[in-house]
Structure 1
């Protein structure tokens, strides 16, 4: 039987989602906890591979188990042994061929920037002192919806078959001393959101013109785009699946 876990986590102390030999990852911690509770070695597949320090307000992951599980009891036991930075929100039974990564139809991220020094958000938001023209940043963000090839925002030497992504939302919102960039697409390339935010910040500083974004995208050259903003301001906020996908 296949199950989906709905999770949230603070990525600060972890080296991203994916298991790796010499660092502690979200995947490793979850697999160890699942193996203890289920009493059998259990592997888990996530909806995405967040980088070191990136957070998730909502992410899905799947695992297989031969028997039925009591949802509330299982969630309670799993949360009891997981560290405080990782929480299981829900457990769902799905069809046996359901895939947390490949069946997702959209993913949403948010990037947080605070413009006044605040020790309580310093590990979860990017402190940026200089004034930014949010109107210019939003004007540029709208242009992203007109394109699909985002190789210019992709980390180099990444193993992908295509750089095409369909962005359906890209907008900056202001809440007093906080700026939030919201973006939704069917898929994202490695480092894509952080590179987009860095480019939009340079437009907000008027180091780049709004029209420069068009040339950057068409160039397919990562060196033409802006810098990659720090990971700790980035959150995966929602992963969506087809209707009636989850039982």
Structure 2
């Protein structure tokens, strides 16, 4: 992936990405490797082919740690393994999510718990796991992935939108709690990014046209369009930004 800008302080930085082997996460892994960072990521599915591809592009391979982020013990072990291999995590990217479509009527208590586990709970415990190392180092950057879906008041996945509103709230609270240790916590809220999953499951021609009509910029978002903003938030270039939610959506919602 071509780099738009270089963030020199990310060279050799220990970076951990949840869901870093597919979709937006894969673009993030590629982007951080392109900056010379040491990248580790966790994912459920085997990512050996992706790791090999990244190594061929960047010489340095990412560290793939297979596991389910809703298993808190496994998530914490993976973060510890990454710290042992690359040094204490300096940048945490909570990216993995599940926007499975569902209605109020059909959602069961078990489904609700599962959706909040993958879309919110694991964010909290990943932040908790990296905080001591960042405190000791006296620096750190956490970027939590939210979504414009809750800002738009979208129907069709209420547990998902509730979790994303929660992510923004969590981000603001942790920014206040961790700020005295010079740890920054920000969120990024992408619009409809056309990953392969979105194209396979939900991107009908009619819905694509309707969403594009709502955008100021008349071009669909791709995973690569999210990378630059995340690199900026991870880098000390944004060293006085914390507690913010940055929208990258082509101009669908407005903030401020």
Fold shared per TM-score above 0.5: no
Higher helix share: 2
Taking CA–CA contacts closer than 8 Å with sequence separation of 6 or more, which of the two structures ends up with the larger relative contact order? Answer: 1
Higher strand share: 1
Q: Structure 1 length normalisation: TM-score?
A: 0.29
Q: Structure 2 length normalisation: TM-score?
A: 0.28
